């Protein structure tokens, strides 16, 4: 199979050299050209016809955002990975880039720790993302022992939904911007979200989503009381969990070891909502690279809850939802523009068909167990 052809665009000669050498060391990748600014990049795209573009945000002559806008006009389906800095300005520019149609991003390492270790981390992450965006990351079902438990749990699958838990990664900011603003302000349950992003990025994402949504959206914080019509985004570099005491459900955050190379991790959140709410959970797995969320989806299904996923055609990367599907854990797959409607329908239908006493009995059982 032909290697993935990459055009590296960065104003730094050193960065261009490092990326070219590092990427070309992988037999499945080929750097076919480099460019020091956006104008040169646009000319080289036409000549070299790359499969993917890496694009620095801050460049002279034509910066990354301006270049990206032009690329999207001329080559709407060309995958583009942005390079940004771990700063407030870098995070804001990255979210702007994603809104303009960037496929994903890489945060440049700061001036701390071992430079070689940081460089290796960036290259490994970049290579994984390139292969995922260009279809070279095959989806294989995990060997999950779920069949018997899932069959037993289906008898409770129409339980009254009391929380919606969403997990997403690559393509997630734009997907969340499609889903959360379509949720009405009278939404009767809380929403908790893991989006794989570093610190600062998650806070700015929550603020942007809040400005466009009828429901309240904010970054999760320790001790926050869950309430209806409110969404919380897990803070970068922290796992977010839901805890249950008596008739209260609150958030907790921690910096335990990453899971699936992620912190926050979808699996951590999904397991916690299952422990806190039992069968009264609707899990939603949206576009994203990797396997985070599969074990959490199993936990939700084993407890009697439901899991739905974003479909392949509307996902930037059908890794996370694709693995949930391949592992037999999805109760339905829906296009991105139908997800908010489906989430609302399922929540409302469960509350019509199930009396509030069911949740009360669940809470009482939880209290007695303590």
- Report, as residue numbers or ranges, the catalytic residues: 169, 196, 292
| 3-class DSSP state of 55 | strand
Nearest to 58 by CA among 85, 92, 20: 85
What is the number of alpha carbons within 13 Å of residue 123 lying toward its C-beta? 19
What's the per-residue H, E or C state across 306-334?
A: EEEEECCCCCCCECHHHHHHHCCCCCCEE
* Secondary structure E strands in 255-358: 281-285, 306-310, 333-334
Burial of 287 (0-12, 13-18, 19+ CB in 10 A): buried
Q: Render 187-233 in DSSP notation, one character per residue.
A: --S-EEEEE---TTHHHHHHHHHHHH-SSEEEE--TTPBP-TTEEEE
Give the whole-angstrom CA distance, residue 214 versus residue 145. Answer: 40
């Amino acid at each position: 199979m032909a290697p993935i052809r990459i055009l590296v665009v960065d104003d730094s000669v050193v960065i261009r050299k490092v990326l070219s050498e590092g990427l070309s060391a992988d037999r499945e990748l080929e750097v076919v050209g480099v460019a020091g600014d956006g104008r040169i990049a646009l000319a080289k795209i036409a000549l070299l016809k790359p499969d993917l573009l890496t694009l620095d945000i801050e460049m002279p002559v034509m910066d990354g955002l301006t270049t990206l806008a032009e690329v999207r006009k001329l080559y709407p389906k060309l995958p583009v990975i942005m390079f940004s800095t771990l700063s407030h300005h870098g995070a804001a520019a990255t979210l702007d880039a994603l809104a303009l149609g960037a496929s994903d991003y890489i945060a440049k390492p700061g001036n701390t720790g071992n430079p070689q270790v940081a460089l290796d981390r960036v290259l490994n992450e970049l290579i994984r993302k390139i292969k995922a965006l260009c279809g070279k990351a095959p989806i294989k079902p995990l060997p999950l022992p779920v069949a018997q438990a899932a069959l037993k749990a289906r008898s409770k699958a129409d339980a009254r939904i009391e929380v919606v838990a969403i997990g997403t990664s690559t393509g997630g900011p734009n997907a969340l911007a499609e889903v959360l603003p379509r949720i009405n302000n009278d939404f009767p349950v809380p929403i908790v979200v893991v989006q794989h992003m570093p610190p600062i990025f998650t806070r700015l994402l929550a603020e942007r989503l809040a400005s466009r949504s009828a429901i309240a959206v904010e970054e999760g914080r320790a001790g926050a009381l869950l309430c209806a019509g409110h969404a919380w985004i897990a803070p970068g570099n922290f796992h977010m969990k839901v805890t249950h005491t008596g008739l209260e459900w609150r958030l907790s955050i921690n910096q335990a070891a990453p899971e699936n190379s992620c912190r926050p991790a979808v699996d951590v959140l999904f397991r916690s909502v299952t422990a806190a709410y039992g069968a009264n959970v609707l899990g939603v797995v949206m576009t994203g690279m990797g396997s985070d969320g599969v074990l959490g989806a199993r936990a939700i299904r084993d407890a009697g809850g439901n899991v739905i996923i974003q479909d392949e055609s509307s996902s930037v990367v059908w890794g996370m939802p694709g693995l949930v599907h391949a592992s037999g854990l999805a109760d339905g797959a829906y296009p991105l523009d139908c997800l908010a409607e489906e989430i609302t329908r399922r929540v409302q239908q469960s509350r019509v068909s199930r009396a509030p006493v069911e949740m009360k009995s669940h809470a009482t059982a939880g209290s007695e167990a303590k």
